[in-house]
Amino acid sequence: MSNVYDFTVKDRKGNDVKLSEYKGKVLLIVNTATGCGFTPHYEPLQAMYKDLKDKGLEILDFPCNQFANQAPESDDEIHEFCTRKFGADFPQFKKIDVNGETADPLFAYLAGEKPFEGFGKGLKMAALNKFAEMNNKVFGDKAYIKWNFTKFLVDREGNVLARFEPTVEMDEVRKAVEEAL
């Protein structure tokens, strides 16, 4: 694959969506969960989407249940939760795996383009690292994503610019998105 536009994913109803439909847009691709300590990221994500959609931003939401069973609901239940609680109206796709033999090829590609470099420093980061290490032992060298709310920034040509772990402040993510726009 040469860039993100070469991938096809499933919308939450199971229909194919070619990411080439997003050509010319800046993308923020996120794996999410409804029961995670980082679930409140939906609020600044929605605010960013509302403010920057008309400038060419699309946020692509991929729920995942591979981290401590934090997204066990159906695709419809996840969508209902996100729209009701956070007003999220950016595209939400079918729940996927991001690690292991069943990992969605898009996320394997994204992680290959921008590998994990750590959660940062501090107690919160150390605790998350411990949970991630336990979880990732299951997936070995196919543990592409370390936790929920990992975000990948993609430019208007489909190239991966940056990876943001869930511990990165959302203000920093927004600043990078604004620069890419």
Q: What is the pLDDT of residues 2-19, one digit of tens each?
A: 899 999 999 999 999 999
Q: Quick one: pLDDT at residue 39?
A: 92
Q: Quick one: pLDDT at residue 120?
A: 79
> Which of 4, 27, 33, 36 is an active site residue?
36
Residue 64 appears among annotated catalytic residues: no
Compute the chain's Rg from CA coordinates. Answer: 15
Give the predicted TM-score (pTM) of the model.
Answer: 0.94
Q: Quick one: pLDDT at residue 158?
A: 97
**Helix 170-180, helix 42-52: angle, nearest 10:** 20
Q: Quick one: pLDDT at residue 118?
A: 83
Give the total number of structural domains in the chain: 1
pLDDT at 126 over 80: no
Span 82-105, pLDDT tens digits:
999 999 999 999 999 999 999 999
Q: Indicate the residue type of 163.
A: R
Rounded to an integer, what distance in angstroms lies between the CA atom of residue 105 and that of residue 87? 29
Two tokens, residue 142: 């196919």
Per the prediction, the chain carries an average pLDDT of 93
Span 150-162, pLDDT tens digits:
999 999 999 999 9
Partnered with residue 170 across adjacent β-strands are: none
What CATH code is carried by the domain that includes residue 169? 3.40.30.10
Residues of the domain holding 24: 4-180
Rounded to an integer, what distance in angstroms lies between the CA atom of residue 45 and that of residue 22? 18
pLDDT at 68 over 90: no
